[in-house]
Structure 1
Amino acid sequence: MGKRDKKKNQRRKSNSSSSPHAVVHVAHVAGGINLLDRHEPEGHNAAYVTSSVRPAQLPADDPEFVGRAQEIAGILVILTGKPMHGGAVSISGQPGVGKTALAVRLAHKLAPSYPDAQLYVNLNGADPNSVDLEQILDSLLRALGFSGSAFPETFEEKISQYRSTLAAKRCLLVLDNAVNEAQVRPLIPGSPGCATIITSRSNLSGLVGVKRFLLSTLGHSDSLEILRQTIGHDRVQAENEAADLVVGLCGSLPLALKISANKLRDRSTWTLGYYANRLQDERRKLQLLQSGDLAVRATFVLSYQGLTHTRKTVFKRLGVTPTSGVSASLIAELSGFDEVEAEEILEDLLDANLVQLTQEPGRYRVHDLIKVFARECLEAEEGRDEIEALISKMTNWYASKTDEADDVIRGKETPKHIEPLTPQAATDWLELEIDALTEVVIAAYEDGLDNPLLKISSSLSVFFQRRFHMKAWRTISSYAVLAARRLGCNGCLINALIEQIKASERAHDHDSAMALLDEARQLSKEMGSPRAESKVLIQLSSVAAHRGKLAEAKQLLQRSLELSRATKDAHNQGLCHLDLGDIHLRMGAVAEAAKCFNAARLRFLSVRDRHCQGIALRKISQLHLKLQEFNEAVSAARLAAQQFESVHDIHCLGMTYVDLAESFVAQGQSNEAGALLKKACKCFEMVKDAGCLAWALRLWASMDVSNGQIEAAEEKRALAHRLNPSSARDPYQKVS
């Protein structure tokens, strides 16, 4: 470098803002940043930057923007509510959720409060290497009026000049599509008079002093409004159900809804029903969700390309998992990582907003459309055979885990290599997984995985009888019947039919139960299986008893008992004795009922079934109460409660609390009875049994009336009526 060049360079550096004393005088800088009132100390050089244009770089606002009222109100308070205003907010969320649209809407609302400049920068989303931060700074400085010799040279000088220029000025900055914190941190102005809105697919958790807003999908009403805004209210009103279906198939994702609305607008002959039917085909769903240069798949691709190999591996496996939620344990099983690694990767995907948290800690879910995309990636990169292998592995994993949980709930010993569970932990696990298990059963049937499907259904039998998931019970049992038919296994079919019969009876669908029973009995005779026939006869007797045909029910149970004795099936004998006791009691044969209930208890004791021992003890307690033998009734009920507690049967525990309360009411001990009814109501709330909760509340109200507490009684009766208008007695007297 010559002497002349060195001197020129020194002069340029002396004018830069890297000097603590250097101040740039701007006559009329772009964006209204006017620094004429700032004077350079004597002896220092100054660079004059002039411009007659205020930068107003905001993209056009969408006139059909819908929703986000709560987020808009919250952000406006942050960015305009303080005396000096300013601050920074970040808007994050999954691809296609409408982050940029919200940021632009906000920016236009905020523009009058920040008249000096409105700057907009697109940071290009998925690829952190696609944007040169120094080039971004150059662009911002040019927008602010810098050029020629006034332009800083080094990156540090540019940052310093950028911040100095914005100091104490009213500037709005939108940083759209940020990849990470490092991209945006240098660009956030430090002055209190400037406002910054950042959008990102990632949560940018490392940014300090930035208020975060995580966008979810739209509510149903706002989702429908997107359709109305584009295709008209009349068209949506004419096909309400189809419009609801379109919203559901789009997962209320704004981008998908906007594309659907545009497509329907441009195809006026398409009905919403026709379009919804096309969307239900997952093989072409993402292809349909494309209109012009808007495409759901394209926005997912950007996020996918930014993932590491390990994150892609886990993400792809989400394409075959249940949409209701997954655990790190399942992902570890499908991906080959250990559980800790799997959870860390899921957390990374959560930060990237490719998965979401469910209401239960430690569980994750993926949006329906992202799941479709994940499956596409899996098939494209690993093949259809891998999809089938993963579904098989997942189904067998769930079958094994459900079987283990069932063994624990039933009180069976678990193998030593399996980590011991308590009945409560096993029941809680099934509660968490029941929606996922329903999805897995459907997928298993579609893939021909009949044996693990039947194992899942069989292992859920006791759980379904104790917890109230009628939709799941009927769905899983119906698929079990279909799988057993396809498998050609009559024994499997009888068991599946019996399970579906139990579900139908619990749902009070006795006609369906009877039709299924006829088939099950015929099959058991054809098989020549006394054990199977005995089980069918118990169910037939239940239907007969429900219809008031007590003699017929008694005869069926006696025949079932004979068959159970012949096969040495002690448990089935116990069930027969239980139901025979109920029949005898209804027929007025109290002594015979007592013999049956005690015989049932002994049979269940011999097979170590604590749950059914509890049921027998509860029957014995009710019999003592009927005979006004209150001490014996209380003693038996307390023993029953202990059994139910030991197997974590919350529902039967609640029923037993009611039995105890009735014994105390009969003895005039209303305080003790009230405390027990309160505990019973809590149990029924836990298992979401509205019928039994209403029944307990009515009993409690009757006790209040007897005690002169009329207002309290009316409140309980009103609540009971809202829960279940028809429940006046124990809705589930028979438990098998």
Structure 2
Amino acid sequence: MQTGVFVGRRRELEELRADIDRTGLDTLAGRKSPRSRVLLIAGRPGSGRTALAEELARRLVAEYPDGVLRARLTGADGQPVPTERTARALLTAVGAPVPAGAGEDELTSALRTALNGRKALLLLDDAMSAEQVDPLLPDASDCLVVAVSRGPLTGVPDVRPCTLGGLDTAAGVELLERYAGPTRITCDPMAASAVVEECGGQPAALVLIGGWLAADPKLSVVDAANRLREVTPPEDCESAGRTVARAFQLAHGTLPQNAARILRLLALAPAGAVDAHTASALAGCSVAAAQTALEDFAARGMLRPEAPAGDLPPLYWVPGCLVPRLVALLAERERPAEAELARARMLERTVRQLHSCRASTRTDDPLTRKRLAELPRPLRFPSARAAEEWLRGRLPALLAAARLAVEDGRLDTLARRLVSALTRALTAHLGAEEAGPELYGLHQLVLDVARRRVMPLEKAAALLNLGDLDARAGRTREALSRYREALDAAREAADPYATSRSLESIAAAHHELGDWERAADWYRRALELRLTRGELADEARVYGRLGAVHAYAGEWTEALRDWRAAAAAYRRLRDMAGQARALGEIARAQEHVGRPQDALRSCQEAVEAARRAGDARLEAAVRLRLADALEHLGEPAAAHAQRQEAGCLLASGTAAVPGSEGEAISAGSTGTPATPAARREPSVTEGYLRNR
């Protein structure tokens, strides 16, 4: 939450509080309200509308025990934020699961479900239209929504806007005094009132003038009023923002040359979020000099400091009302090549920070420790926890940086490096499951760059990763479409690894859909490629998956053949655990084809292989299967002894029971198992983008 000074607005606060208790149209009609009450604060940028919303939330927070959820509906570039992105952020804030790759309707429905039964306050800042607000409204009538917008939100029923004008003179003078100090204001109250009148009571303009006065102790309030009257607003400035533009033009003109340049370059900051590293990279100065400049800008009212969280370095925000002026000044006073170079420096710094963030989780590796020691001290994190806090706190800005870099199109190499570094840092700190929603968007960015630059290998990698995330979310048919497209790209790139991965993934998707014939066909294609390349470990895995498909189809003779081939491959690899799992599946297939004595021998061999592998949990699972085989042969005493031994092993084991290739070893039953979730290999983005 951004911190700032709040004064006045007593009447508006009373009106808003009264509007909460006002009888709604549904109640008057004898109906229960289907949605939460919506309060609307309408005003132009710089009128203090967000400050009023935050003050209202501060006063009401005790009445809403589930807290305040905040979302900004307009980006720093002035474009509306997609509703699915807002819903995803709110779901994360409320602690609800976020399905990766879900569309707007699914996410907004999940948000309403998550808020059902809660009493929370939603603050939706800078809404551009009712279409942005309406899908986010909770069905829970105990919730309250406070929306901030330029004007009325036609389309949201039963909403009366609280329209903001300028502050009254007394409140305006108080705000001016907060920034400029009490001495000069008390000595010349008439001049202070003249400044308030000249600024139209606009809080943003008064803050800028107050900061300017504070920075120049020799300047009198009368001088400020006179010079403010002489300033002509820029011609390209809309009438609603001329007051703020005049104050900013005056304040900016008095900055030292280097400081003014740093401020202009902040227009390039992703999502309007700035810290010392961002400013340092943009301006090409030291981190200490950048931090000093940011503190000075905050004192002058040109930046809004955020309340510090933990041990994170200070973060500042560019006020939305100043962004258009900074963009205009940047275009006017900086050459395009200089601006592009500044953006490249910022992206490069971000990539290095992300590498340091990820490396903080691997300090037990001597090579990683050496690389960390080679980094400049400001780029190092004191601990993995500090790195994770930084990643979570800066995640919106990091994602915005990746999106802007890809959309720009002129720095695609840096954009790909940034996406790769962010993907790896998220996976290292949050895990693939929790980071899934963000990873989905990042893989889409990789896909955009790959398509634009005609890079089939990167295209295949992105499509495989997107397909994996779709499959985990239960969108198997969408995943199948991704895998087929990835196969075409992999063949175009003539890359055998991506081709085989695509073939196996297509087979796994058909496997998940229960289409055993197609799954077997695609696994055979993948197996042919593995056999021609002599990749023994991959051969063993694919043989196992093919055996599982034949088992689901009830083709036990074919399944037996495949599992024998898998066991032979594991034997050649000296992989005793894999051999034990394959032998267990051989035993199951032998029972189904009516060869119980062979099944018993296979189980005994599996027990021996598991014992040699040193895996107690695996040995326990195989012994349970051996017990089933003994019971089928009419030896209950021996079966009981095996179950007792398995119980002792399970009590002492610590690892999860490893599954066979295609499914876990079923203990206690030799029937056809339930359809498993298709198993897939780790992400290939890291492998393809590591050095790009």
Which category describes the TM-score, using the shorter chain as reference length? 0.3 to 0.5
Q: TM-score, normalised by structure 1?
A: 0.44
TM-score by length of 2: 0.46
Higher relative contact order (CA 8 A, sep 6+): 2
